[in-house]
Amino acid sequence: MDGLRFVAAIAGSIASAALLTVTGPVELARADEAFAVEIAPGIYGHAGSIAMMDAANEGDIANLGFVVGEKGVAVIDTGGSVAVGKRLLAAIRSVTKKPILFVINTHVHPDHIFGNAAFEGTGAQFVGHRNLPRALESHGAFYLKAFRNIIGDELMKDVRLVGPTLLVQDVSKVDLGGREIELRAWPPAHTDCDLTVYDPATRTLFAGDTVFLRHIPIIDGSVKGWLANIGALADIPAVRVVPGHGPLVAPWPAALAEERGYFERLIGDVRAAIAKGDSLAQAADEAGQSEKDKWRLFGDYNARNATAAFAEYEWDQP
Ligand SMILES: [Zn+2]
């Protein structure tokens, strides 16, 4: 495939050898090469940093991807700024000139959707969970305002909320030409608009933020629901997953074990705190602390997760 001249295969050697023969804008080719790698035939991914969004990383903290079929391309998430979205678009264009048919957003969070505007004008349909329009309606204005302070006016000036034109109610398929990918809308877990993308041909799952590795999971939907979804996620016959955050590729379903362990510990601690009559503040300080060394950004999110779990379990009968 011609794109291998520019986008490194994960094995690396073919692409790096081919790069030596590239003429023309070598700097750009190198940037594209670094931005996306082929993780399975026709499946490309980009690893975001394990970090909070800021001006220096331009919001590039989520894993992104694209799938190439005979007719065209599906993009999975667009990054945390239009600058990131444009780099993703350039990486796609270095692989194929086929039309971009779908831009799929796995959920409402800014690090996954702020790059959407880079794909306006490509003719792509924007695709999301049936609840995504409602989530954009309720959170979008806040995100646009709050993230001016987080990534700065310069990066935010191009960001527009581009909502879905195609909604996934439950399970649906989209045809990329000789390649159908499966989209699944999940009950509330990470958020109330989580969508996963599965390519049966290569058995590759783009899990969005239903799967976190190394980066502590963030509960913005329901931890009880998330734990239930993990059972159903494990049944997907994938061999590899691209998690929303963490290493670009991980074995499936083994990749679920880390977050499952965290949720079970957090819920166990929160329920014990509730049974003892601890306050919400005490539970937020103490629950899940034994997981501290297993996760990056633990201090940024654990207390918030414990608070969310406390609210969910407070009135639960033992
Ligand atoms: Zn998220």
**Over the stretch 116-158, which tens digit does the pLDDT of each residue have?**
999 999 999 999 999 999 999 999 999 999 999 999 999 999 9
CA of 209 to the centre of ligand 1 (A): 5
**Over the stretch 196-208, which tens digit does the pLDDT of each residue have?**
999 999 999 999 9
CA of 31 to the centre of ligand 1 (A): 26
CA of 275 to the centre of ligand 1 (A): 31
Residue among 210, 212, 162, 202 at smallest CA distance from 182: 202
CA of 130 to the centre of ligand 1 (A): 17
CA of 277 to the centre of ligand 1 (A): 32
pLDDT at 15: 34
Over the chain, what is the mean pLDDT? 91
pTM of the model: 0.89
Mean pLDDT of 7-24: 36
pLDDT at 317: 60
CA of 42 to the centre of ligand 1 (A): 25
Find all residues with CB under 8 Å of 35, minimum gap 6, and list them. Answer: 7, 46, 87, 88, 90, 91
CA of 195 to the centre of ligand 1 (A): 11
> Under a CB-based contact definition with an 8 Å cutoff, are residues 117 and 158 in contact?
yes
Name the DSSP class of 264: H
CA of 119 to the centre of ligand 1 (A): 20
| Dihedral sign for Cα atoms in the order 265, 271, 277, 279 | positive
CA of 214 to the centre of ligand 1 (A): 14
Find all residues with CB under 8 Å of 57, minimum gap 6, and list them. Answer: 49, 51
Which amino acid would we find at residue 292?
Answer: K
pLDDT band at 268 (very low <50, low <70, confident <90, very high): very high
CATH number of 36-255: 3.60.15.10
CA of 228 to the centre of ligand 1 (A): 18
CA of 278 to the centre of ligand 1 (A): 29
CA of 297 to the centre of ligand 1 (A): 14
